[in-house]
Amino acid sequence: MRRISNIRAPRVVVAGIESGVGKTTIAAGLMAALKRRGLKVQGFKVGPDFIDPSYHMAATGRPSRNLDTWLLSKSRVVSLFKHVMLDADVAVIEGVMGLFDGLSGRSHTASTAEIARLLKAPVLLVVDVSRMAGSAAAVVRGAKSLGKGLSIEGVILNKVAGEKHAKWCSEAIKRFTKTRIVGALPYNPDIALPERHLGLIPTHEREEIQEKLDAIALFIEEHINLDAVLEIAKGAPRLSSMARIRKERIVDDEGRPCIAVAYDEAFNFYYWDSLMLLEELGARLIFFSPIHDNILPKDTAFIYMGGGFPESFAKQLSENWSMINALKKAVEDEMPIYCECGGLMYLTRTIIDFDDNKYRMVGVLDADTRMTRQLTLNYTLANTIRDNLVSEIDEKIRGHEFHFSVIEDVPRDARFAYKMIHGRGIVNGMDGWMIHQTQAQYTHLHLAANRKRAEKILAAAKKYTSR
């Protein structure tokens, strides 16, 4: 480990007073516009979101990272941020919900405000002014008053009705809060990012997403002062740290166990830092598609199947019998397999979609998945009740749940790795269904929260390879 002192890391947080003010569109547009200036732009997302970062990656060409003080310790959040920023010119950090929305109303824990304070990052506050004028000053003043230790350096007015409306809002904000207006965006439904049942559409599903982002970038360039944004970003204080320099990628794959990672239209919810940690520890990651590939990658010693939208691609998944049979054989062969959410659903007998259409899946878990209209969205805390692929008995694990499905007709004798303390799990407050060397759960984990989890995965892969 090499000491890196005084990392400059220009950075801004794009935050709102509430959800739905346009943060994702504006953040992704800023990323794309700054990239058009030739800058290496690094996207970040506050909280456990997997979907918004897919837009960030499309806008920047770099994997977006999640900053979450529930899943990771504060020191780990700062460390990961500094490490990623070693080869970037500027960071655009998209907030979650409203600026001060966190785990409860009693504190700002796990909120955008907490991350901004932690990273000493200036905030650009997005205010939807479609139903106000001078009152916008009260919104900004209230945020600055509540945000002690927070640096709200600029305001972006969204959904202005015209120049006169923008002027009224700007005059009031400048007069009563002394805060800089860096942009005023007229209402434009044509640039809004599309929605779906789990939020925003992942980039995999829309070939035209780059065209959409290009249009958003042009809109941002026209209505936001990018020079002012960069000035604010560069005004962030330097960060000193003991940051790790990324090692050169190992060219020689000999002796490195192969971890096959499901990654396609149906499965794409991963924390990028989790994958990078596995690689850093010595794994050889190979991506495969349960939709398009007929066989598992050569020399596979461990399968990692994350979340995603298997219900949206249930027909394609059900028709790929070659992959289904390959996965059944891997389970029966005691290959270690770790699945989260979408991966769990895929391993059940069937997926019953929102229209009651039933599609056969892998079927190694003797239950069915049914899509519902009820969202399960929680941070989770669980106690490990059985040693498993990622944790040891009595170990507490933190994660999150995000799905519109339930698992039905789970056998009474099903074995589980976790008993939920907070969160729902699969059934009766239990999660982490275990069969052979397979573990499938609703809970999403961030492996970088505890290196031992990634080390356990690697050990399981090595053990299988050495059989």
- The average pLDDT across 117-132 equals 96
CATH fold of 4-241 reads Rossmann fold (3.40.50)
Q: Is the pLDDT of residue 283 over 60?
A: yes
- The average pLDDT across 171-180 equals 96
Catalytic residue numbers read 341
Tally of CB atoms within 10 A around 239: 20
Give the pLDDT band of residue 246 (cuts 50, 70, 90): very low
> Which sequence spans correspond to the domains of the chain?
4-241, 258-465
Q: Is the pLDDT of residue 409 over 90?
A: yes
> Is-same-fold flag (4-241; 258-465)?
yes
Give the model's pLDDT for residue 110.
87
d(CA 324, CA 334): 16
Give the model's pLDDT for residue 191.
81
Q: Are 48 and 55 in contact (CB under 8 A)?
A: no
Q: Is the pLDDT of residue 242 over 70?
A: no
Q: Is the pLDDT of residue 447 over 90?
A: yes
Q: Which of the two residues, 159 and 207, has the higher pLDDT score? A: 159
pLDDT tens-digit readout, 40-96: 999 999 999 888 898 999 999 999 999 999 999 999 999 999 999 999 999 999 999
CATH of domain 258-465: 3.40.50.880
